Amino acid sequence: MSEIRIENLNKKIKGSVILNDISLTMTPGRIYGLRGKNGCGKTMLMRAICGLLIPDGGHIYIDDEELHRDIKFPRSIGALIENPSFLPQYTGFRNLRLLAKLMGGISDDDVRYAIERTGLDPDDKRVYRKYSLGMKQKLGIANAIMGEPDVIVLDEPINALDEESVDNIKKELLKLRDGGSLIITACHDREELEYLCDEIYEMKDGRIVQ
């Protein structure tokens, strides 16, 4: 289980302030929601937590290890940010198994279970390029949750899903939270966030305002 501590995080890109003095602490077994208008910095904050954005100033600690000083990436993290790049000619299962092998420590059964949890069929013979938008999103979620990582980051994970699928994903995320995962998600739908999240941060112009 991991705690995330962010201290005075700042990032500018080409002179524009993208993240502005962000400080917060996130603890295991909780779901955190990020809300705010398009372009307020939700994705950038999530990328920073994943180790994919190098800050200009400030610190991100995962437990007692600092990103970019002690570790490059959090040790146990799964993420769905923007469009995941899966191989179009492989099935969903084959795509995830390949990634699981690269990550290490995730068995074929873990991969199957993660796919099933999203409502997809791990034995589906269709290749990824024939997946619908919702199926692609579910596979992205399966990729993020396989092996039940300590930290799960999901950027707008449900925008392409039907109501039944949304309910199912929410149920699975609550189970993962109860198992000790720290989950961070961004979503435009206030009601969805309020139902799911233990804490919601409102962002504006790269700042946490509430």
Among 33, 41, 74, 140, binds ligand ATP (CB under 6 A): 41
Considering the complex, what minimum distance in angstroms separates the CB of residue 67 from ligand ATP? 17
- Residue 186 Cβ vs ligand ATP, minimum distance, rounded to whole Å: 6
In the set 2, 22, 35, 43, which binds ligand ATP (CB under 6 A)? 43
Give the binding range for ligand ATP (CB under 6 A) out of 12-20, 22-30, 101-109, 132-140. 12-20
49 binds ligand ATP (CB under 6 A): no
Report, in Å, the least distance between residue 173 CB and ligand ATP.
19
The CA distance from 95 to 63, in Å, is 31
CB neighbour list of residue 13: distance below 8 Å, 6 or more residues apart: none
Query: Residue 130 burial by CB count (10 A; 0-12/13-18/19+): exposed, middle or buried?
Result: exposed
Could you say which of 22, 40, 79, 169 contacts ligand ATP (CB under 6 A)?
40
Q: How far is the CB of 16 from ligand ATP (least distance, A)?
A: 6
Dump the DSSP string for 140-164.
HHHHHHTT--SEEEEESTTTT--HH
Q: Does 133 bind ligand ATP (CB under 6 A)?
A: no
C-alpha R_g of the chain: 17
Ranges within 13-32 binding ligand ATP (CB under 6 A)? 13-14, 18
Give residues with Cβ within 8 angstroms of 99, minimum separation 6.
143
Among the listed ranges 39-47, 107-115, 136-144, 174-182, the one in contact with ligand ATP (CB under 6 A) is: 39-47
Amino acid letter for position 3: E
Taking CB under 6 A as the rule, does residue 209 contact ligand ATP? Answer: no
Non-local CB neighbours of 151 within 8 Å, separated by 6+ positions:
2, 4, 49, 62, 74, 76, 77, 78, 181, 182, 183, 184
Interface size with ligand ATP, residues (CB under 6 A) = 11
Task: Round to whole Å and give the CA distance between 114 and 173.
Answer: 11
100 or 208: CB nearest ligand ATP: 208
Q: Are 204 and 18 in contact (CB under 8 A)?
A: no
Residues near ligand ATP (CB under 6 A):
13-14, 18, 36, 38-44
